Structure formats: structure tokens, C-alpha cells
A and B are shown apart, each in its own frame.
Chain A
Amino acid sequence: AQKITQTQPGMFVQEKEAVTLDCTYDTSDPSYGLFWYKQPSSGEMIFLIYQGSYDQQNATEGRYSLNFQKARKSANLVISASQLGDSAMYFCAMREINTGTASKLTFGTGTRLQVTL
């Protein structure tokens, strides 16, 4: 079974609009962390935002926020006021704390976001 599912292979958004990128996860571990990364066409992986399973508040970092719905096991990334430079692949990833070696991140297949004028 997939641990991280990103169902949107591609998304389009107009500049200055907000966009939500979906991520659902599957774990029986009560302790876990969720990460979002951006990968522009240059190939570098850029860390955007983190949400812990016990965090009471949704994480925010500038124009990025995480819509964390624990009961639904979803951790959607919201980008507000999209910019042309936001065009990239976006990956959701999870770290399970108590399962085996608690360090690797498991990644989803990604969503390609294209920001248009």
C-alpha cells in the first residue's frame, strides 16, 4: 500500500490565485511528521514546511500553509498568491517516528504545478 498518495499529477493556477495540492497518507504509527518539498526544473529539492502529528495548529511558512486533517489523514499544501516562480514539482513526504528506523522520509509521486499569467 502507498504510504503517501498525491492524486493530482498536474495542476494549473493563475498568478496571484491560491492553490491547494493534495496529500493523503497511511500509517498506523501515532507519531509522525509530514514534510513538503518543492523541486523546480533545475532539480534541487527545497524544503517548504513541516507538520508534526501532535501539532495542534496548522503549520504556516510565509505563503505556504498546511491544511492538516488528522482524522482524514490528509496534509494538503496551500500556496497563497501564486507566483510564476512557484511553477515546479511538489512532493509530500512522511517520517514515521516509532516504526523501524525513525529517520527516512517516504515520498509521494509528486504534483506538477504550473502557474500561468
Chain B
Amino acid sequence: GAGVSQSPSNKVTEKGKDVELRCDPISGHTALYWYRQRLGQGLEFLIYFQGNSAPDKSGLPSDRFSAERTGESVSTLTIQRTQQEDSAVYLCASSLGQGLYNSPLHFGNGTRLTVT
């Protein structure tokens, strides 16, 4: 498909378990972003990749959160020892990349994470 693809679309996990969320950006987009959206709230920035490096990790809420990206392709966001406050929709977005300041972010449909 032509858009940003995220999987799974829904994930229910028990408190304390680890989860991996996957994002497949639009082909040719060098920049990739992860955001978190709690119910009824705005988007909270987590991390940004340019290629496979992460110049901005400032939004990761704790060391339980990590992300990686292989090349200019797939990214995974890993949450270790999940807590109930991690329940949210995790949105991935991609854009054409650094230097193209008017380039909008194109979002996937998100992964809804529920920690029980």
C-alpha cells in the first residue's frame, strides 16, 4: 500500500509483559516519528528517526521505552514491563525528511495498546 502501515492494530497485554509495535513508513520517506495519544488527548511526541539514527529521543517517557529503525525502512517501538499507564494509541508517521520544513507528517492508523 501507499500509506504508513502499523501492526498490530490492537494489542492487549498483561501488566509486566513486553510489547513490540511495528511501523512500515511510506517508501522514500527518510524521517519516521512515533507519537502516543491517550484517550481524548493530543499527540505526545516520543522519538524521531532520520534514516536509522535517532537525533531526538526526548519524548521517551522512561527507559522501558526504546525504538529502532533498520535503514530507511521499518521501525519497532518496544515497551518493556508494561504498566497500565502505557495504555494508549501509538501512532507512527513518516515524512520526506530533514530540510523539507513544509513536509507534513503522514500518519498510520495506530496501534491501540491496552495493558490489563
Contacts and interface: CB of A to CB of B under 8 A. Distances in A.
A86 B59 CA distance: 31
Interface string B54-76: 01100100000000000000000
B45 A91 contact: no
Given A44-B107, A45-B93, 11 more contacts: A31-B101, A33-B102, A45-B43, A45-B107, A52-B101, A52-B102, A103-B48, A103-B95, A103-B97, A104-B45, A109-B42
Interface stretch (A20-28, A63-71, A94-102): A94-102
B53 to A, nearest CB: 11
A70 B89 CA distance: 33
A12 interface: no
Interface string A76-109: 0000000000000001010101001111111111
Contacts of B35: 107
B105 A100 contact: no
Interface of A: 31, 33, 35, 42-45, 47, 50, 52, 91, 93, 95, 97, 100-110
29 contacts: A33-B101, A35-B104, A42-B109, A43-B109, A44-B109, A45-B93, A45-B107, A47-B105, A47-B106, A50-B104, A52-B101, A52-B102, A91-B43, A93-B43, A95-B101, A101-B55, A101-B56, A102-B101, A103-B31, A103-B48, A103-B97, A104-B56, A104-B59, A105-B33, A105-B45, A107-B35, A109-B42, A110-B41, A110-B42
B101 A104 contact: no
Contacts of B89: 43
A100 B105 CA distance: 18
B101 A107 contact: no
Contacts of B42: 91, 107-110
Contacts of A95: 101
A101 B48 contact: yes
A82 B38 CA distance: 28
B50 interface: yes
Contacts of A33: 101-102
